[in-house]
Structure 1
Amino acid sequence: MGRFGGSFKKTYVYDLAAPVISQLLKSVNFTGTELDEVIIGNCRQAGNGPNPARTASVRGGVPTEVPVTTINMACPSGMKALELAAMRLQLGDAKYILVGGMESMSTMPYLMKDVRWDGFKFGNKELLDGWADSVDPLIGQGMGQTAENLVEKYQISRTDQDEYAASSQEKAHHAWEAGHFTNEVVPIEIDKTIIGKDETFRYPVNREKLASLRPVFKKDGTVTAANACAMADGASFMLLTTADVAATDGLPILGKINGFAQAAVDPDLMGEGPAVVIPKLIKDHQLDLNDIDLLEVNEAFAIQILANESIVGWDRSRLNIHGGAIALGHPTGCSGVRIVTTLLHALKTHDKKLGVASLCGAGGVTMATLIQRN
């Protein structure tokens, strides 16, 4: 993951995704003609042309004859792409689907509204930051304010939020040091420099500095830049097929998707989503929370994780064991696939069987998926 304004600050989203697609195809000796479709989640699309997933795919080596779809469901976009691909495979009308998520937060443009028809005439016009699209029109609030709404409802302290954030940073550092991300991360070359490690996490963690940071979204609030997710640029991809096709073609299977669940919650409290959808998913599959070996819940905010934890009651030692989005970053369209990728590798690394990945999303949408290691 590239940090906001970091190495990828001038790299448009399709050029972030293209080398990942290219290397994935090479890893399975595909030319791209084997694909029936490419489905990619991408939220921040302004300025990226029509169907940015198509541009990313073709630049990544996918033949122009392969259809490509861009999905926007806020933060769960990448996971929704996974679900749509799985549905096509279940229907039997596809053999191979390339699925991914991508986001370039650093290249989000500035916007000028009401100019096309009104013109400039006299006076000044306001230049709007493209980040204004993060404000939910349903409630007139950004996601940071909804995080403060969770603080007010669940009364979780700033100290607890900061400590959770620190632990996420430390877990990410230790995971990198142990080589757990080696088989998960694809190096990218920018201006003749190879970037092969996440730029987002910070180590060592200075807890005194964390405590000194001012709140960002509310004057007397508790949500800071450090206990919220890191803004980032990134892309994540995987190849989906059926067990029979993989066996016939001699492809290794990392894991399988056992199912999905969707739900929706009050947009004012959008961070509660995983606490609703994870129990639904587990119940749908006649499982108990204790049956789940590992959980990957996207860390939009520390308060969001802690609020969900207070509702669901998961064992934190099973949660985001290699760090989460507070440390690794949350490129929104990318994250739904990224957390599933991380979960699959974590299940293999730690010799575990079942995992659940979940995200909340703007507007109150939420998803979860049940993953089984092969």
Structure 2
Amino acid sequence: MKNKIIIAIAFLMTVGQTFAQNRKSKSEKMETTEYYTFKLSDKVTRQKVSFKNRYGITLSGDLYLPKNAGTEKLAALAISGPFGAVKEQSSGLYANQMAERGFAVVAFDPSYTGESGGEPRNIASSDINTEDFSAAVDFLGLQKNVDRNKIGIIGICGFGGFALNAVAVDKRVKAVATTSMYDIPRVNANGYNDKVTIAERTKTLETLSLQRWEDAENGKPKYGAQPNPDKLNGDEPQFIKEYFDYYKTPRGFHSRSINSNGAWANTSAIGLTNMQILAHLKEISPRPMLLIAGENAHSRYMSEDIYNLAAKPKELMIIPNAVHVDLYDKVDVIPFDKLEDFFKKNLK
């Protein structure tokens, strides 16, 4: 079981059999309906937007604005994540909450996923997913009702790592916060709690290297197993049960979400393994960083490691009794008042 956990998280379940099609009746019903997994605040407006990153990929987003904004230019936030999710899930919920608190907020689908462009589909990239955040900052800085000197970023789960990576090089961003932060390239390369050995990684990369020939011959990538199963057996690790409870039930299911209804291209793991992020983490300073993690989250150690490595100003907030996915959508658990205070203090 221990090795299964390591391999499952290490390569984000990108290595496996071709994407299974045997949906359960509940999933089939949900697949046919496009919806947001949260209710739009009556104090907020939402509109579809799009913008390009520097690779020419068109990103799809939702722009959330407070209804009572007036004519004063607003502080703004770019939000994405979790890894494998879409803007109609957690990032949209965060955007809705932060717009209610007075911010202009764009929640966006990363390249190759959701409604954003990029072919082939369901590809992850250390560089491009970092760039996606800067492209969102480009977009915000061009809005007439946004003060481009007051832009921050929130990264959720795997996009917490990419958010920090973006802020290290993008000096336009004045503050950054993460929740349930995951360093996706680190986990791909080293496994959960850095338990994957060089021999294990070499064996996996040998398999993926050979996969490239098959993909080249077929003219398209092979996709792995679903990140989350359609049905639990009951003996899964606790974190798998928690992911299932969010992504595979009406609580958080969305038909465009890879974690709900799809699979990553197998060879995405190659680039994630080889292209590590956060080499320049300390260069986020002197801009402030807020890391938020659940006390009982399996990912908690990653936020703690980042906190120990980062330069000041920095803050680590541990939410009592919370698990990783509690910070996806539980508005009574996510410290939105803290996030509001953090950004209002530092975006000025």
Query: Do both share a fold (TM > 0.5)?
Result: no
TM-score, normalized by length of structure 2?
Answer: 0.29
TM-score, normalized by length of structure 1?
Answer: 0.27
Rg larger for: 1
